[in-house]
Amino acid sequence: MSMPTGKPLRAVAVRYTTNLPAPVLVGKGQRLHAERILEIAREHGIQVVQDPDLLEELYPLQIEELIPESLYESVARLLQFVYTLHNNEKNIS
């Protein structure tokens, strides 16, 4: 997830696996670090979504911190969107 232009580029990376009780923040950065996060996502075929409001909520978290319950609904919508895009891409190819 990344910020639109106008502000310094910032990005966060979130992972969810069924063996965790909640999604976890696995990366965050500004400027060059954000560019590297986005580059890694592209290299691995990971969908990038821009959601400035959610980025503002997630950015203060520490790396490897579980997403707080107050953000479950927003992060769940984001993950559902990404999973839907991923499945649609698989069905097309």
Domain architecture of the chain: domains with CATH: 10-92 (3.40.1690.10)
Q: What is the pLDDT of residues 53-87, one digit of tens each?
A: 999 999 999 999 999 999 999 999 988 888 887 77
Q: What is the pLDDT of residues 39-55, one digit of tens each?
A: 999 999 888 999 999 99
The answer, as to whether pTM is greater than 0.85, is no
Q: What is the pLDDT of residues 10-39, one digit of tens each?
A: 999 999 999 999 999 999 999 999 999 999
Per-residue 3-state assignment (H helix, E strand, C coil) for 30-57: ECHHHHHHHHHHHHCCCCCCCCHHHHHH
Strand partners, 29: 11
